[in-house]
Amino acid sequence: MSETTLFLGTVVHCIGDPWDTGAAAIQVIDNGYLAVSNGLVTAVGDASTLQTSELCDCKQIDYRGNYIVPGFIDGHLHYPQTEMMASFGSQLLEWLEKYTFPAEAKFSDQAYAQNAANFFVKELLRNGTTSALVYATVHEQSVDAIFNAASEVNMRLASGKVMMDRHCPENLRDTAASGYESSQRLIERWHGKNRLTYAVTPRFAPTSTDEQLKLAGQLFNDNEGVYLQSHVAENKAEIAWVAELFPWSRSYLDVYDHFGMLGERAVYGHCIYLDDTDLQRLSSSNSVAAFCPTSNLFLGSGLFDLMGARERGINTVLATDVGGGTSFSMLRTADEAYKVTQLAGNTVTPLQLFYEMTMGGAKALTIDHQVGNFSQGKEADFVVLDPKATAVLEQRIDLANTIEEVLFALIVLGDDRCTRATHLMGEVVYTR
């Protein structure tokens, strides 16, 4: 029989959906344990009952005084843009030309890409992010680099080669045919290996010809279990451009719909300026909206309507969108999501935010049978959060009476300093 390890601490996870059932959706075990065997969760429970349990002789890792929560899920970010975070003064289209394309061009160099990918994966883990849907660049080997880096630590990660055959610098341009073939090779090389999933990645409608979008739709529909990731309705100038380029389309989203690019596991970044018909279509097709609050604020893009999306039954996932986004931390991201929602006159609760960062994100990405909470048999990806990480946080949490208050303090005041440790499949992969 394989060895079981017990991780002791305050265990907090979603056993339901707080958007539907409020506090009943969250299980909190104060003096708790998380039992892991062979990388999988075998149980959670009350540590005071251990003396009389068959688990009492198991190896124990003592995280008491800390919160043990499911690893965070980041539904949209760009690993090659790590180095260009905090690029000043532009909105989307100028920002792409001025900062993004030059940064991404460097990834034609395999060694450069591998270094950047290794750095990026470390940064995710340091922030408690254990699953992510990640853009690479147009270069095939940039995808090898990120999958290699994720494999090293056995991380659950999805990525894909950017498809981009027009309206970009020559050195970042593929063709409809070469983009298709390269994506197909990458699917064969990586999809379903270890914990890796391929994501068909047409950058956004303006940088792909009709032919390329058609082939992206085909790759998505012909390969079981792959994602499709792209951007939609982020910025007003971008939307006007799409209307010019695709005069026949009813809307920006309609372009993607036309090419068979909506459906389960189709994940669209931003979704800020969608009308009722579009929202209805996102919902009916089971597509996913990635909410990127730090990026939407940084690039002056606009305010995503989280409540409107939830009310229409749209799958949502919270995302950093590094490097338009300004932090790797899903705590910082949830904080900004709260503020954006406040601006719209709505209030998202701490439990709903926690759900979006964990189980809700897992559901949206259809990895909820593997991760997202501590149900028996799930992969033991978790983060240990330190409520004493900063003096201000410690003082605030000392005064907290409920788990809502604790989670809210972590979200509003916390960041990567709160990560005491990150575990993948039970194994420690980051420790402070």
Interface residue with ligand GUN, options 217, 324, 360, 372 (CB under 6 A): 324
Question: Is residue 269 involved in binding Zn ion (CB under 5 A)?
Answer: yes
Site residue total, Zn ion (CB under 5 A): 2
Question: Is residue 100 involved in binding ligand GUN (CB under 6 A)?
Answer: yes
Give the closest residue to 215 by CA, choosing from 255, 180, 167, 252. Answer: 180
- Piece of 64-72, 92-100, 219-227, 243-251 that binds ligand GUN (CB under 6 A): 92-100
Q: Is there a contact between 59 and 6 (Cβ–Cβ < 8 Å)? A: yes
Helices 330-343 & 403-413 angle (0-180, nearest 10): 100
Give the closest residue to 122 by CA, choosing from 426, 425, 427, 422. Answer: 422
State how far the Cα of 14 lies from the Cα of 359, in Å rounded to an integer.
7
- Piece of 56-64, 301-309, 313-321, 399-407 that binds Zn ion (CB under 5 A): 313-321
Strands 40-46 and 288-291 turn out to be unpaired
Residue 395 C-beta: closest distance to ligand GUN, Å: 36
Give the per-residue contact string, 175-214, with ligand GUN (x = CB under 6 A; - = no): ----------------------------xx----------
Q: Is there a contact between 72 and 130 (Cβ–Cβ < 8 Å)? A: yes
Nearer to ligand GUN, 68 or 242 (CB): 242
Question: Is residue 92 involved in binding ligand GUN (CB under 6 A)?
Answer: yes
- Piece of 3-11, 45-53, 321-329, 410-418 that binds Zn ion (CB under 5 A): 321-329
Residue 202 C-beta: closest distance to Zn ion, Å: 12
- List Cα–Cα distances, 375 to 259, 304, 407, in angstroms: 38, 31, 20
Residue nearest to Zn ion (CB): 269
Q: Which residues contact 408 (CB under 8 A, 6 or more apart)?
A: 350
Structure tokens at 164: 């981009």
Q: What is the DSSP string of 225-269?
A: T-EEEEEES--HHHHHHHHHH-TT-SSHHHHHHHTT--STTEEEE
Interface residue with ligand GUN, options 257, 321, 336, 379 (CB under 6 A): 321
Question: Is residue 295 involved in binding ligand GUN (CB under 6 A)?
Answer: yes
Which option in Zn ion, ligand GUN, none does residue 100 bind, with CB closer than 5 to 8 A by kind? ligand GUN
State how far the Cα of 357 lies from the Cα of 359, in Å rounded to an integer.
7
- Piece of 209-217, 317-325, 327-335, 402-410 that binds Zn ion (CB under 5 A): 317-325
- The binding site for ligand GUN (CB under 6 A) comprises 78, 92, 96, 100, 203-204, 231, 234, 295, 321, 324
